[in-house]
Amino acid sequence: MFLDLREIITVGMVLFAVIDIIGSIPIIIDLRTKFGHLESGKASITSGAIMIVFLFVGEEILKLIGIDVASFAVAGAFVLFFLALEMILGIRIYKDEEASSASIVPLAFPLIAGAGTMTTLLSLKSQFHTINIIIAIVLNIIVVYAVLKSSSKIERMLGENGLGVIRKTFGVILLAIAVKLFAANVKGLFV
C-alpha cells in the first residue's frame, strides 16, 4: 500500500473540480424544484460505486479495444481542458439532455459521475496509486453528500457571485492539472 497524503489531496482536488458539486448547486436546486425530494444518500453511494468500479474495470475495457493508458490520459487531458474552459468562461461546450426525473440516473450518473469524471479517473490512474484515488473518491462522495443535503443553504450563503468565484477558481486549477496531465503522458504516445 502506497498511502500518500499529497497524492490524496491532489487527486481529491482534481475530482472535486471535475465533479464540480458546488457549481452544480443551481442544477440540483432546479431538480429539487421540478421533482421534489432528492435521495442524497442513494445518489452519493451510487455515484461513488460507479467511480470505483470504473477505476478498476475501465483500464480492462481500454485493453479490450486496444487503447493504452497514456493515450487515454492524453485524451482525458483534453476533456479536462474543455471542462476547465467551461468553468472559467461560463460557457457550455457539452450539453446534457434534459432530465425527465430526479432519480439516481440524472443525479448520480450524468451530474456527479459523468463522462468527465470517468475520463479523469483513468487519466489519474496512470499517475497515482489506486488506493490514494479510492480514498480521494470516498472523501469527495462525503462532500457530495453534504452538499446535496444542504444545497439550498449553501446557495443562500454563497449567493450567485460566490458560486461563480468558486467555479472559476476550480476551473483555473483544473486547467493547470490538464496541462500537467498532458505533459506527463504525451511522451508515452511516441515510445
Range 84-123 burial, b when 16+ CB lie within 10 A, else e = bbbbbeeeeeeeeeebeebbbebbbbebbbbebbbbbbbb
pLDDT tens sequence across 134-188: 999 999 999 999 999 998 788 788 887 888 888 888 888 888 878 888 888 888 8
- In whole angstroms, give the CA distance from residue 59 to residue 70: 11
- The answer for residues whose C-beta is within 8 angstroms of residue 55's C-beta and 6 or more apart is 121, 122, 125, 130, 133, 134, 137
pLDDT tens sequence across 89-137: 888 776 555 544 454 776 787 678 877 788 889 889 889 999 999 999 9
The reported pLDDT for the residue numbered 31 is 75
pLDDT tens sequence across 55-91: 999 888 888 999 887 787 788 788 878 878 888 888 8
| pLDDT above 80: residue 189 | yes
Global pTM reads 0.77
pLDDT tens sequence across 100-113: 445 477 678 767 88
H or E stretch at 77: helix 69-89
- The answer for residues whose C-beta is within 8 angstroms of residue 28's C-beta and 6 or more apart is 38, 107, 111, 147, 148, 151
Sign of CA dihedral 134, 142, 30, 88: negative
Q: What share of the chain is helix, strand, coil (3-state, %, to 5)?
A: 80, 0, 20
Measured in whole angstroms, the distance separating CA 94 from the mean position of its chain's CA atoms is 14
